[in-house]
Structure formats: structure tokens, C-alpha cells
Chain A
Amino acid sequence: MKLTKILLASTSLTLAAGLVQAQEMANDMTLVSWGGAYQSSQQNAYVAPYLEANPDVTAVWDESSAEAVAKLRAMNEAGNITWDLVDVVASDAIRLCDEGLAMEYDPDELLAPGDDGTPASDDFGDLIVSDCFIPQIVYSTTFGYRTDMVGDTPPTKICDVFDLETYPGKRSLEKRPINNMEWALLCDGVAKDEVYDVLGTPEGQERALAKLDTIKDEVIWWSAGADTPQLLADGEIVMGSTYNGRLFSVIEEQDQPVAMLWDAQVFDLDGWIIPAGLPEDRLARVKDFVRFATDTQRLADQAKYISYGPARASSAPLVGEHAELGIKMAPHMPTDPENAKNTFLYNYEFWADYRDDIDAKFQAWLAK
């Protein structure tokens, strides 16, 4: 079964390669990503295999995803787009699409169908949250805690973050309103499906900030994804929010006394965008690469290196074991049923609208 699949994949690959040779294709690609473990998972899962299949092609990484929006805008104004494919979170993709900086695409035309024949638009489903966004992974922002600092009663609920009596000590939260405001409202007694309705009103925003105020003195605010894992490893904090892949690395790869809190974790997406206005030959190369890099097997392969769930429904059954540790990856995925009992869905539309307004209030509150 597996062998045939590989054979099929490689034949279709050679076929595809043969077909596209006819078109003019540039041989250099500049890929933009986040660096670290995530970027190496991309390198291992699909960039290296692609380069092997296309020996003439070279790929260069640029670790600028965090500033991608501003840099793309500057490149666009200068009229010189040097990037070919950019990895961004979904909310940035929406913004880039709105600003006309990312290219709109047709999923069924650009992306390969699933290995079970499902058209790409169905295989990715709702995860294509913008006309420009090519989803790769599902990640979640959740809490990790020091097992040696919480006594015999480890936290099990998101609201334990706000419980200073049972869990004294510092906690780390991201220095932006997104996620924190939702958690604050959830723990202030707002029902999950009403959170965004409440947060849309000035009173609701005040309410969320008032809830955050109860722990403000005990919070260390982070802005880089590596901060919370570092603070946890140093014992600076009892618990802190970060991306689940970072926590996986602290727990399984670095063997720190840290555990994960799977409650009300916020589901979010990460994926590619193609910058608008690429020359024909570079665009042809990028399209060829993206088709390969987002097919069912490649997305499943990525999960061998990092604990983020593949964005394709058809990739989920193929998720196997960690490439080095040999442990099963499925239980560490944010999409695993055991972990996804109580998840929170991030509302892109809401934050696209309210980001500027709530951020102003949040920052004013922080600085007080």
C-alpha cells in the first residue's frame, strides 16, 4: 500500500516535472519562514525532497516571517519583490490579501487533490480563510506549566491561570490582546459561543481587561515565541502561553519538568502566501513547488518533525512517528481528539476589524 503510494507519488512527480519543463521556470527560490524547529520541519518534509527531484533548483531561506507584512509592503513600494513564497499566520495572510500584497489563487487549480481524490478546496475545507492563503498546519496557542511548581494538583482548566491562590507565581502571556482577551472573558463567566459578541462591545472589552487586571502584577509579557519555553526552563514562571510545538520541544526533546494544559487552547493556522506581482518564470516555479509541498504526503511528513497538525484532512491518517525520538506524534497534535476536547476557535474576521481598536485599549491598559 505504502510502496504503491510512493511509486505513484514519484511517477506523478516525474510526470509533473516533465510537463513543467516546457514552461520557463526560474531556478532560484527565496522561501520565507520562521526559523527554528518549524523551518527545519519544512526543510526536511518538502524542501529537501523537492530539491532532490529538481537538482537544478536552489532554495534560500529568509527567516523574516515575523516582519513579513511590513517587509512585503516595503518591497512592493520599491517595486522589487525578492521573495517567492512566504510563510505567515492566517491573520497576516488576510491583511496581506486586503493590502493587495498577496496573490489570490484558485485552490483546485493550484493545489494537488488529496491522495483519496478529494479536490483541494474540500480537503482543506474551511481552513482556506482567505483567497490568498494556502494552509499548511494547524497549531494552537496553549499553556505549559512547571510540574515541580504546582504541587499535587496540576492545573487542568484555563481559568487556573487566573487563580493566584492555588497557583501563586509568575505567568507569561503574549503582549497583545488576541487570545488573552478571549481567555479572560471565558474565565469571567462568558459562554464560549458568546465571547466575540461580548468582546465586540466597549463594556465587554473593559470586562476582559478588568479580569486580566487581577493577575497583571504577576504577568511577564512575551513577544517572541521562544520566550515562554525559556522562562519555563529557567523556572521564572509557573505557567505561560505559547505555541504547542514549542512546548512539545521543551517537554519531549529537552526533557524539562513541564507539562501541557489542553484546555481552551486557541486554534490557529499557518500557511503560505505567494507575493503579488512575481515575474512569470518565478511564479511558475513557485506554483510547481507549492503543489508539491502541500500535497497529502508532504503535509503528513511535516508532522514527523514538529507537533503541528497537517491542514489537509487526508493527511491526518498518515501522521506517524517522530523522526528522531520515535514516539507517536498523533497524541501531541492539537487536532488529536483527546487534546481537542475543549478548544477555542479564533475568529479572524473579528480581529481584522477590532485589532486596531482593542490593541489601543490593551496597550494603554498595559502601560498604566
Chain B
Amino acid sequence: MSDTTQNGPVLAADGTPLKRSLARALRMQKMRALMLIAPLLLFVVITFIAPIADMLFRSVENKIVATTLPNTVVALQDWDATGDAPPAEPVYESLYYDMFVAAEAKEHTKLGSRLNYEQTGLSSLFRSSGRRLDDAGEAQIDALEDLNPAWEDPAFWYALMDAGSGAADDDLLAAKRKQMTELTDIDHGVDIGFAPRADISQLLPKTADAYTLFALFTAVEDEDVVAEEEPWEAVKVALVQDLQEGADVSSYTGPGAAELAAAQTALAELPAMNFKEVFLDIDKDWGSVDNWSTIQTYSPRYTSGYFLNAIDMQKGPDGPEARPENQQIYMMLFKRTLFMSLVITGSCILLGYPVAWILANLPMRTANLLMILVLLPFWTSLLVRTSAWKVMLQQQGVINDVLVWLGLVADDARLVMINNQFGTIVAMTHILLPFMILPMYSVMQTIPPSYLRAAKSLGANNWTAFWRVYFPQSVPGIGAGSILVFILSIGYYITPEIVGGTTGTFISNRIAYHISSSLNWGLAAALGAILLAVVLLLYYAYDKIVGIDNVKLGG
């Protein structure tokens, strides 16, 4: 189609090209329609799509490593995980300062649980190390405090570190505010009654760094006054480090200058801080290459790790690799879920079609009565119906008892019909049957009985009349019912959990486990996302093959 003629574009009455004029009119109409449905759209987006998107987002989100150990992650970047040497001292130093704050904020155990999903043992490593960091550098700190009790005096420390009316190091404060806000999810942008002195942060960078973190924590989390609290051990360790590394305190003349100079002289005789030793003393597992490689692999803020895990793979130092065979489970469960959902859908069609046909062809009064029978189980609790199947199918259950009584089955060879795939299929077919019958019924009701009579009067036998005339018209009902049943069953988990045993459970059972028991929500989200993608893919395929226009939920 072209909107130009040989004489140029066709023009509307006001001289604009007709195409543009038409487009504008249509756009106006569309906008108006959109405005009308806007409240509903907003409602759906806010209450339905946003939470699902948020949940699925967890499958790639992984910022906890970078927010809990911000400096360690940076220091660890250049470490070679394929070698067999643990990282060097600077990494342990960053780890000490990061971990100290995290332990004070009680965030380190969260990271331990997170990393334990990838590497066994990290949970207790983080939990036990957090508590024991207070003892690091004890000798040096004691020496410092023995030298001058001022080092235990909150007011002295505050006078030394605070900018007062002088120049403040605003960049440092801003950076630490950001670090603490990310770590604790609490806003640290408030006034804390402290700003680091610019000259001190030049002279004693580590101390200023640690004290600023301490000040933020004291003011925001503990809601105390910074000047009245004694700094925690990490600040003193930082001072020891700064002084031992040869900070030039002779040029400094502010408050505490004399004490600093004295401390530097005294500390020169003590051994330097060795953080690697500190950590290896706490737990030798801090020297394990595997542990460090896990931390390094999972340090980016976004990870494909959960998705890899969901398809039985894992992140190795050289990229994705298959999990050990004895840990592979999810692909098998996905396949089983799809297969069993198909079987359940198939058996629902077989059982539901005749029922729907009878319902549609009986007189109204009887049909309504029968309809109540179809709907009755619908109004009974799902758990009750599932448990009822347990009573029916178990080895000492009703069916087995009847079979034994009839002599069809020997008493010592009772049939195993539950806690396996068979049990799940039977129970779920029963539970989902109404979802198949109802759309079929409403479609069949619209097929005029005269068509069948016409077919027969033209010479068709019963079967031909049904197969060539009636059945094709009822297909949209089958389609709608199948989609409903299939999509419902693919996400089922209560029934498989109760009657499925080990061979009849679905992928949803693992999702439920990771949501409620192992708290590995990232993996649960990844599994859920894959399940959603599979359903959408099948829906797309169905649309291409059968055509979604052929699906009817009612007349």
C-alpha cells in the first residue's frame, strides 16, 4: 500500500497528508481508550506484575557479597583462583575491616548463609569468625592503652578525629555513608555529629576510615553520641597500622599530637599487624583456595549462578561446568513435571469428554443436577480430597481391601498405588477434572443437535456423524480445558507432596523447599523463571500449531 498517488500524497481537508491525519485521529482514540483502562492496568501492574518481576529479579541479583565485603571484593579481583596459593595480605587486611563492621551490624552471617549455598562450610566460617575478630591485634592495642589511658577515652578520640570548625574530608564521609547504607539497608545520610578532619585523614588514612565507619554506626544504628563512645577495636588496629607504616606525625600539630608521637615510638618495637595470621588462627579454612575462589566467583552484583544451578550446572573458575552427577536433579524434575502434566491433561480429556457430552445433551433439569455433582468436589478443600485419595489407594486402603476380598489380589501382594507417579496422576486428574469439564461443556452446549441429525439424514453412521461433524466443533473446548489443566498441573505442589512419594514429585516441590526451608530464594526464583519460560514457550507453540483463536472458554 502506498499513500502517494502519481500526483503526490493524498491530502485531507486541512491540507495535511491523509495518512498523518488519520494516524493522529487514531492515536487520539487509542489514548482515550488507554485512559479508560488505565486504572485497571495500573492495578494489575502494581499488584501482580511488579511483585512477580521483583521475585524473578532475585534469580540474578547477588549484591550481598559486594555490599558486605566491599573492599575485599576489590582487593580480590587480581587474585588467581586457578593457582593453589591463597590470596596475599592486602586481601586479608580488607577482609578484617569489612568483616568487623559487618559483624557489628550483624550482616556477616547473612553473607555466610548466602555463600554456603555454593560452598559448604562458609556458613559457620563466617558465623564463628565474626565473633572472634575482636581479639585481633590485642597485644598492640594493650600496649597503646598502657602507654596512655587517653586511648580509651571517647572524648580524646573524638577531639583527635573530628573536624570541628576546621577542614573536613567530605569525600571520605560520603563514601562511608554509601558503604554503610548499602550494608545495612538503613539510610545513613542523616546528621551524625561528626566529620573526619581533613589533615588526619591525610596523615592516618586507615584510622580515619575506620573511625568514620564507627561514628556512622554509633550515631545511626546505636543512636548514641559519637563523642561519648569508645571506638571499637578495628579503629585502634587501624591506628596501630598507620603508625607502624610510618605516618609522619611530626608535622602534625592538632589535638593529640603528643600522644600520637609517643604511640608511634612505642609501637615501633611491636610486631606489625598480620591479618592473614589472624584469620588463619581463627579458622584454617580461611586459607582454603576453594573458599576464596567461591567469594571471588560470586563477587559481581549480578550472577548467572542461580540459573546455572537450576539447570544442574555450576560456576567454576573457568566458566560454567556440569554439577557432579550425584547432585543433578532439576533437569530430571523439569522433564518429569512436563511429562506427568501431559499425562494428567490426557487423562482429564478422556474422562471429561463423555461427562461434558452427557451434561450438554441432557435436559436442563437433570443437567443442572449433574453439574452440581461435578462442582461438588470443587467446594471441598484440596487437602481433604488429596487425603481421601490416600485412604482409598494405600496398601491397607479401600481399593486394596476390596480387591483382596474379591480374591483378585493376594493379601501379601497388595498393589502399591500411592507414594508414586500413579498416585499423583490419579489424585491430580480427579482434582483438575472440573477445569476440563466446564469449558468443554460450555462449548458443547452451543453445538446445535440438529447438525448431528442432519449428518445422519445424509447417510452418516453414528461414528462418522460424531467424528466428522460433532467432534471438530468441540475441539475449542478441549483446547481451553487442556491449557487450563496443563498450566495448573505444571505448578502444582500440595498434591504431589502428599501422595507423590519420591517418584511422583514435581519441580514445584523443590521450589517450595527452597522458598520455605532452605531460604535459597534466588534458586527458587530461577527455577520459577524457567518454569514460566517453559509455559510461555508451550503456549506459543500451541498458538502456532492449533491457534489460540480456536480456544473457547464459553459459548
> A residues touching B (Cβ–Cβ < 8 Å)?
67, 69-70, 73, 95, 97-100, 104, 170, 175, 206, 220-221, 223, 234-236, 349, 352-357, 359-361, 363-367
Contacts and interface: CB of A to CB of B under 8 A. Distances in A.
B518 A356 contact: yes
Contacts of B328: 364
Contact of A206 (B326, B333, B510, B515): B326
A361 B122 CA distance: 18
Contacts of B515: 70
A359 B326 CA distance: 11
B109 A365 contact: no
A133 to B, nearest CB: 14
B395 A98 contact: no
Contacts of B181: none
A366 B501 CA distance: 9
A67 B518 CA distance: 11
A354 B125 CA distance: 12
B124 A356 contact: no
Contacts of A175: 502
12 contacts: A69-B519, A98-B127, A100-B107, A175-B502, A220-B419, A221-B501, A234-B394, A352-B116, A353-B121, A353-B122, A355-B518, A364-B329
Contacts of A69: 516-517, 519
A243 to B, nearest CB: 18
A235 B113 contact: no
A98 B110 contact: yes
Contacts of A236: 394-396
A360 B327 contact: yes
8 closest A-B pairs by CB: A98-B109, A70-B516, A357-B120, A364-B329, A366-B502, A360-B327, A353-B124, A67-B516
Contacts of A221: 419, 501-502
A293 B61 CA distance: 42
B106 interface: yes
B432 to A, nearest CB: 22
Which applies to chain A's interface (DSSP): helix, strand, loop or mixed? helix
A367 B328 CA distance: 10
Given A69-B517, A349-B124, A235 B419 contact: no
A112 B501 CA distance: 46
Interface string B414-437: 000001000000000000000000
A98 B497 contact: no
A69 B122 CA distance: 20
B117 interface: yes
A104 B107 CA distance: 13
A191 B532 CA distance: 48
Nearest to B111: A98
Contacts of B113: 95, 98-99
Contacts of B333: 367
B503 to A, nearest CB: 7
Nearest to A99: B110
Interface of B: 106-107, 109-110, 112-113, 116-117, 120-124, 127, 326-329, 332-333, 394-396, 419, 497, 501-503, 505, 510, 515-520
A364 B336 CA distance: 13
Nearest to B333: A367
A231 to B, nearest CB: 8
Contacts of A73: 519
Contacts of A365: 326
B109 A100 contact: yes
B511 to A, nearest CB: 12
B503 A367 contact: yes
Contact of A353 (B116, B326, B395, B518): B116
A266 B505 CA distance: 28
B329 A356 contact: no
A72 to B, nearest CB: 10
A358 B116 CA distance: 12
A356 B520 contact: yes
Contact of B502 (A67, A97, A104, A367): A367
B538 to A, nearest CB: 23
Contacts of A355: 518
Contacts of B117: 356
Nearest to A219: B502
Nearest to A363: B329
B392 to A, nearest CB: 12
Contacts of B332: 367
Contacts of A70: 515-517, 519
Nearest to B387: A230
A99 B333 CA distance: 29
B459 to A, nearest CB: 56
A97 B109 contact: yes
B110 A364 contact: no
Contacts of B517: 69-70
A27 to B, nearest CB: 27
Given A70-B517, A357-B120, 12 more contacts: A70-B519, A98-B123, A99-B113, A206-B326, A220-B419, A223-B497, A353-B121, A353-B124, A354-B120, A363-B510, A367-B329, A367-B505
A353 B396 contact: no
Contacts of A100: 106-107, 109-110
A146 to B, nearest CB: 11
Residue from B113, B121, B123 having most chain A Cβ neighbours under 10 A: B123
Contacts of B518: 355-356, 359
Contacts of B112: 98
A321 to B, nearest CB: 35
Contacts of B396: 234-236
Nearest to B131: A131
B124 A352 contact: yes
Nearest to A223: B497
A69 B394 CA distance: 33
Contacts of B501: 220-221
A181 B219 CA distance: 48
Contacts of A235: 396
Nearest to B523: A356
B200 to A, nearest CB: 33
A99 B326 contact: no
B421 to A, nearest CB: 12
A69 B519 CA distance: 8
Contacts of B121: 353-354
B400 to A, nearest CB: 10
A69 B123 CA distance: 17
A353 B123 contact: yes
A363 B510 CA distance: 9
B521 to A, nearest CB: 8
Contact of B327 (A170, A234, A349, A364): A364
Contacts of A352: 116, 123-124, 127
Contacts of B519: 69-70, 73, 95, 99
B536 to A, nearest CB: 26
A71 B359 CA distance: 44
Nearest to A357: B120
A360 B325 CA distance: 11
A102 B282 CA distance: 26
Contacts of B502: 175, 221, 366-367
A220 B500 CA distance: 10
Contacts of A97: 109
Contacts of B123: 98, 352-353
Nearest to A348: B124
A99 B123 CA distance: 11
A54 B82 CA distance: 65
Nearest to A356: B117
Contacts of B505: 367
